[in-house]
Structure 1
């Protein structure tokens, strides 16, 4: 049973006052009256009633009053009085029991007080949210944070940069201007971090990232192709007015990617090669180049299957598909972009095993390469999840994604599912946006799921009304008492004839949208699951003088970054495919030897065993055996192309030269049982 303590206190005080008054003004006169008229009043109700209302003056002097206070008669009636008021008190207390919503009928919202938030949060350890308010890494629930703050609200200065200080694990930063790298990369490097930089603003000062190097399944190819085709918007805001062109261009791109991955060497497996293949096909007029390449593949190969989706189109339609795809791949014609995306110097698995700080610099003024960011983060997140699943369910080193200007990344496939399962894998996402409308625009169907999977919301201030309204509702309502005074006036003269007052219980928002808009610039609001809202002071990194000095002393320029590990790459040209020198020598020699075999075979028309042995050139046999031995010892790779007019296409297939020559010899001289090689 729940009681209203305030109401009980009032009742007890009131009962005590009434008891004292009755003791003085009622019980004492009764005691005197009964004592003096005990005999007369027996059975005489009139006399008793008269004595009940006798004035206190009947007690006489103070001395006489004192005598009766200690008399047995007074004690008797006083005990009866006490018992009476105790019964009244019990009845009043029972009626004063509280219901579930007593005094909070319209809401119980209030600010966290007296440090009650520390039953979940910490003062120093974990992800810094505000001054003396940190998010412990071992708290129940997830450690994903949704940070909402308009331009100039301190998203970087009061959240991202302060969280570099504690060096909690590997970091993945989005860095629109490169300023975060300049201010923090040196600090982390001095503390043992390996620094990586993907710079799409100045690609010459960047590590390399090749999307095709991270393909592990057909789904990965689907994501790459879909993002390139449908992730690039035209001026109207959509990728294409007719989905047919997007769908067919996507199928063709998948065919090209599968072909490169299965048939070309690693140095040619890049998106620049895809762009070159499309250009070559467009230049030959009837697109025969791609048909010739794909027709050599097995029918059940992924490349052939996807190509068949567009192969039956008319020449005009196929040409339009090629043009559509060529426009989507046009960015890879740039040499600097081809340089960045054709080799790979970022090992995603290392982020899970050692402390790495990865900075992704992309322009916040245009969206030209947003599709590339989408592919990058999609592959990175998936690969970290895969690593965790294969190594006990958690990353060896926790990974913290600090995603400033999150919506510039584009729509990461299945991000709502990823963020909902990140905690168990030691992955934390800090989603930083200017307002909630941005998030809804990119994640139209899943934005609420993403918000719902962030146990912590940090509001830094925003001019957006819908965002203000959302946080006002999240703060909740409290119950207040509104005092009303009503004046009564005459209808014609306006003269006041009286007034009345009343108390009205009503609800109001803990903070209205207008109050949130006018919130002090150095204040922030933390909404943490399980505790009341917290209004706190922002933690500006530059107010920590020691930390600021450490950052300044280690500052470096992101434009001076040098990647010394860039690998070699080559762009595949289907009209003039590259064949390395040794392979070309091997192919030429094999062709000459095979021609000699055919010449020898034409001279054995009679199929006589003696003639056969005499017609086989001993020199050729010795040369073949010598070449077989050398090729086997060198473990050379080569390609046999049955079409004299077509260049080599499959360089990754290992063939046993000796075995192939013996098979061919047996095939040529199958009629002679005694033929030997």
Structure 2
């Protein structure tokens, strides 16, 4: 029976199992042959395209209500080139328009096909175009740094994915990696603690690296970067940036330190001194916080050939997971509950996940994201891609995806995995022997044997229109791939008509004058501002400190409080000139007080208020 809950229809597990027209059975009705049983469907079972579901094949879908199904919505999708990962899985699920979506979009096909339909459904469309950076919304990772603890996460994702000699290979290069990482954290921390938001970007990280001068071990002179951090330490001795910078300086001077700095600078300069990347990352227009609050669709457009700049995609995914988790905890704290679900459910459709790069701690994220109302679909060409990215942790990743969709392929490791997951069936073999002669006889011997439900050869030769779906606690399904043209929203998509194509027309021009104006200043430059004057320290500095020149004087702060007392008290038996002298007020701050003072009557013991 169909069950109604929150105005949406759901199927029980038994009815869901009936969706599969062909489901393999572990039984045998013949000699040495396996059989499939065809299921006849009644009217209610044919209503499989519920909009509140995640689609896997023509007749297999899973409700988004994970409490009802007791299953998470994390999926592993495996399919070789040309098996239809985008057409038969990603596009149908985008047409469902039932979640916020974050989609890896090789070449921009998905945005063009589904963007207009989603926009018409009320979605906010966002896109980061790594393939054509001049036709993109801007993304600045610094925009999502709100505390010191956010900095290592941002830097880890960056260093894990940027190519070059800082890649950790163990041994001495491990030290090399950690030193480079600490240097970048220190400089990012300096920007976060001292600079306004418009000057926090990786272009300025490179500029600060450039003014760092490594000298001989016997030389004690300070370079320009030393002076900046010395000023910061004077303003805030407990600075997180300063503590990391001291680690770098304690590593010593000379050849080793110089090589580390030069290598780190070379790698960062290779990317962030490029005009197109500086222009793309100097400010932020994506507003990632909205994705967990209302229906949004974010398309991350990646090149199909080169993966050189895909570190930006990995960085974005890393920060987005962190943002959504924090939103969940903030909501729970605000409501006084333990429920950390975010307001708007989010589905990550990470197509060509093997080319996105490394998302730090993804195996931990995928094991906990369900309770935050987040679902992740990782789409790979084969098992080898997963193993190369996660090494020994790949089984943890796959084990936390309760659904696997196999669309076809011939990769040996992949078809072996599918064959093993399908399990075995029992077949009966019959041996007949005849003995001729005076004592002729016939002997019939039957024997039960086990064989793989599908051998690797049979999986390789599976029809291109078929797919296999595995769902935890159920027998595997063999079904036809989802027919995109049968989806109720298909006629609204760009695949149906060119009139429905979403054409991004946002061109961001490189303005070197703007970028130049946002550069951070050195100590010897006239525009340089001492860190103690920054807002961060104005908010936190002790007002009793005489060294803090950037705040109001203690006397002025007391005067500000006295102004409020003047307005509230009924007795001011003092001449106006003397009161102004005591309070030391400027006219802008004393307009309201002057109204009281004008009513002063020296012959009355009470003030007159006007």
Q: 1:287 to 1:476 in 2, by over 3 A?
A: farther
Q: Which residue of structure 2 lines up, in the alignment, with residue 290 of structure 1?
A: 225
In the alignment, the residues of structure 1 paired with residue 475 and residue 418 of structure 2 have an alpha-carbon distance, to the nearest angstrom, of: 14
* Deviation larger for 345-354 or 511-520: 345-354
Partner of 1:420: 367
1:531 to 461, 474, 492: 474
Task: Indicate if the aligned counterparts of 1:147 and 1:433 stay in contact, CA closer than 8 A.
Answer: yes
RMSD: 3.6
1:662 to 1:509, Cα distance in 2 relative to 1, 3 A = closer
Higher RCO (CA 8 Å, separation ≥ 6 residues): 2
> What CA distance in whole angstroms lies between the structure 1 residues aligned with 2:62 and 2:100?
17
Matches within 5 A, 1:110-509: 114=39, 123-125=48-50, 126-138=53-65, 139-234=69-164, 242-282=173-213, 288-298=223-233, 299-312=237-250, 313-330=252-269, 331-392=271-332, 393-488=340-435, 499-509=442-452
The residue aligned with 1:624 is: none
* Residue 540 of structure 1: how far off its partner (Å): 3.2
Check 1:254–1:117 CA distance in 2 against 1; reply closer, same or farther (3 A cut). farther
1:31-53 residue CA offsets vs partner (Å, 9 max, x unmatched)? xxxxxxxxxxxxxxxxxxxxxxx
CA–CA distance in structure 2, aligned partners of residues 141 and 553 of structure 1? 38
Provide closer, same or farther for how the CA distance between residues 127 and 658 of structure 1 changes in structure 2, counting only shifts above 3 A: closer
- In terms of mean alpha carbon deviation, does 262-271 or 364-373 score higher? 364-373
- What's the offset of the Cα at 1:515? 0.4
* Secondary structure of residue in 2 paired with 1:458: strand
Offset from partner CA, 1:223-246 (integer Å, 9 cap, x none): 222333343234898678722222
SS of match in other structure, 1:539: coil
| Equivalent-residue separation in structure 2 for 1:217 and 1:534 (angstroms) | 48
Shift in CA distance, 230/140, structure 1 to aligned 2, threshold 3 Å: closer
Q: Which residue of 2 aligns with 1:571?
A: 519
Q: What is aligned with 1:92?
A: none
The 2-side partners of 1:351 and 1:390 are apart by 15
Distance in 2 (alpha carbons) for counterparts of 1:133 and 1:117:
15
Counterpart of 1:560 (choices 499, 505, 513) is: 505
Gap change, CA 1:352 and 1:554, over 3 Å in 2: farther
- Spell out, residue by residue over 1:546-598, the C-alpha distance to the aligned partner (whole angstroms, 9 max, x if none): 7146432554455533579x9x761224366583xxxx9xxxxxxxxxxxxxx
CA distance in 1, matches of 2:434, 2:37: 40
SS where residue 102 of structure 2 aligns? Answer: strand
Greater CA deviation, 547-556 or 454-463?
A: 547-556
> 2:27–2:426: 8 Å Cα contact kept in structure 1?
no
Displacement of 1:374 in angstroms is 1.8
CA distance in 2, matches of 1:159, 1:411: 23
For 2:402 and 2:28, locate their aligned partners in 1 and report how far apart those are by CA, in whole Å.
29
2-side partners of 1:451 and 1:439: how far apart?
Answer: 9
Q: SS of the residue aligned with 2:391?
A: coil
TM-score by length of 2: 0.73
- The alpha-carbon distance between structure 1 residues 305 and 487, as it changes in their structure 2 partners (threshold 3 A), is farther
Structure 2 Cα separation of the partners of residues 498 and 236 of structure 1:
78
Q: Distance in 1 between matches of 2:155 and 2:300?
A: 22
Q: Which has the larger radius of gyration?
A: 1
Q: Work out the CA distance in 1 between the residues paired with 2:45 and 2:373.
A: 18
Superposition TM-score, scaled by structure 1 size? 0.66
CA, structure 1 residues 281+437, in 2 after alignment: closer, same or farther (shift >3 Å)?
same
- 1:417 and 1:190 map into 2 onto residues whose CA distance is 36
Deviation per residue, 1:368-426 (Å, 9 max, x gap): 12322222101101111211222242122211111101122222122112111222222
C-alpha distance 142-540 of structure 1, shift in aligned 2 (>3 A): same
CA deviation digits over 1:523-565, x for unaligned, max 9? 001111222211111113245597146432554455533579x
Q: Deviations over 1:158-212 (max 9, x none)?
A: 0001112211111100001111111111111111111101111111111111111
Gaps of 5+ in 1: 1-100, 585-638, 642-647, 664-676
Unaligned runs of 5+ in 2: 1-25, 333-339, 539-548, 558-583, 585-610
User: Structure 1 residue 317: deviation in Å?
Assistant: 3.2
Structure 1 CA distance, aligned partners of 2:41 and 2:71?
A: 18
Indicate the residue corresponding to 2:578 in structure 1. Answer: none
**Change beyond 3 A, Cα 1:406–1:161:** same
Q: 1:658 to 1:405 in 2, by over 3 A?
A: closer
Q: 1:115 to 1:216 in 2, by over 3 A?
A: farther
Alignment of 1:82-97 (within 5 A): none
Count of residue pairs the alignment pairs up:
490
Residues 513 and 456 (structure 1 numbering): CA distance in 2 closer, same or farther, change over 3 Å?
A: same
SS of the residue 1:360 aligns to:
strand
1:57 maps to which residue?
A: none
CA contact (8 A) 1:477 1:508 kept: yes
More helix, by proportion = 1
Q: Name the structure 2 match of 1:76.
A: none
For 2:109 and 2:38, how far apart are their aligned partners in 1? 37
Higher mean C-alpha displacement, 138-147 vs 514-523: 138-147
Structure 1 residue 326, shift from structure 2 partner: 0.6
Alpha-carbon distance, 1:475 to partner: 0.7
CA contact under 8 A between 1:229 and 1:325: conserved in structure 2? no
Q: Indicate conservation of the 8 Å contact 1:205/1:561, yes or no.
A: yes
